[in-house]
């Protein structure tokens, strides 16, 4: 099999997971709804770039989620709230083993073996991760909270000045 390795990758609505791998030629396997891609950049580099393309920095998105939800560790990230692209890390984003799962594609999570979890995506693909069921369940919950907060926040009407500002009359 000839593996095509990409120098870069753009996170999109079809991205289901970014897996961190130890390979001399690539650092990420991007799992999409209908294909796997091999990328030279790390998952964290791809997440940071996707945040910028979505209108903010990773640090800005992270700070907003912390402010709105109180989450401080393994914070889910609204990569592009307008396109409903939200992802969560499976461990600390600075750790090599951290993978990113895209919430809207997850159908179910279930216990697989001790400290392992099976993710079933909506397209029936499955992914086994060496992460406890409890941790992934908590991340799914945190991401759902994040989605609710950002959806509510983005649906608020922005403050606008009235068109006709009355003149002050001085007596």
Q: What percent of the chain has pLDDT over 70?
A: 87
Is residue 148 helix, strand or coil? helix
Beta bridge partners, 82, equal none
Question: Is a pLDDT exceeding 60 seen at residue 26?
Answer: yes
State the pLDDT at residue 161.
44
Question: Is a pLDDT exceeding 90 seen at residue 164?
Answer: no
137 Cβ contact list (under 8 Å, min separation 6): 109
State the pLDDT at residue 158.
46
DSSP notation for 5-16: EES-----TTEE
pLDDT digits (tens, 9 = 90+) for 69-126: 899 999 999 999 989 999 999 999 999 999 999 999 999 999 988 889 999 999 999 9
Residue 1: both structure tokens together: 């099999």
Beta bridge partners, 113, equal 116
pLDDT digits (tens, 9 = 90+) for 48-72: 999 999 999 999 999 999 998 899 9
Shortest CA distance to 40 belongs to which of 53, 57, 21? Answer: 21
DSSP 8-state symbol, 130: S
């Amino acid at each position: 099999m000839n593996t095509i390795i990409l120098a870069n990758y753009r996170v999109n609505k079809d991205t289901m997971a970014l897996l961190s791998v130890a390979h001399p030629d690539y650092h990420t396997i991007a799992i999409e709804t209908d294909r796997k891609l091999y990328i030279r950049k790390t998952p964290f580099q791809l997440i940071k770039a996707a945040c910028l393309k979505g209108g903010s920095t990773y640090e800005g998105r992270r700070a907003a989620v912390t402010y709105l939800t109180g989450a401080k560790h393994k914070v889910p990230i609204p990569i592009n709230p307008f396109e409903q692209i939200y992802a969560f890390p499976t461990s600390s984003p600075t750790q090599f083993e951290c993978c990113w799962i895209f919430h809207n594609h997850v159908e179910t999570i279930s216990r697989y073996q001790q400290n392992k979890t099976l993710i079933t995506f909506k397209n029936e693909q499955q992914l086994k991760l060496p992460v406890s069921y409890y941790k992934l369940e908590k991340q799914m919950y945190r991401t759902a909270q994040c989605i609710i907060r950002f959806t509510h926040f983005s649906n608020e009407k922005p403050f606008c000045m009235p068109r006709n500002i009355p003149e002050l009359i001085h007596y």
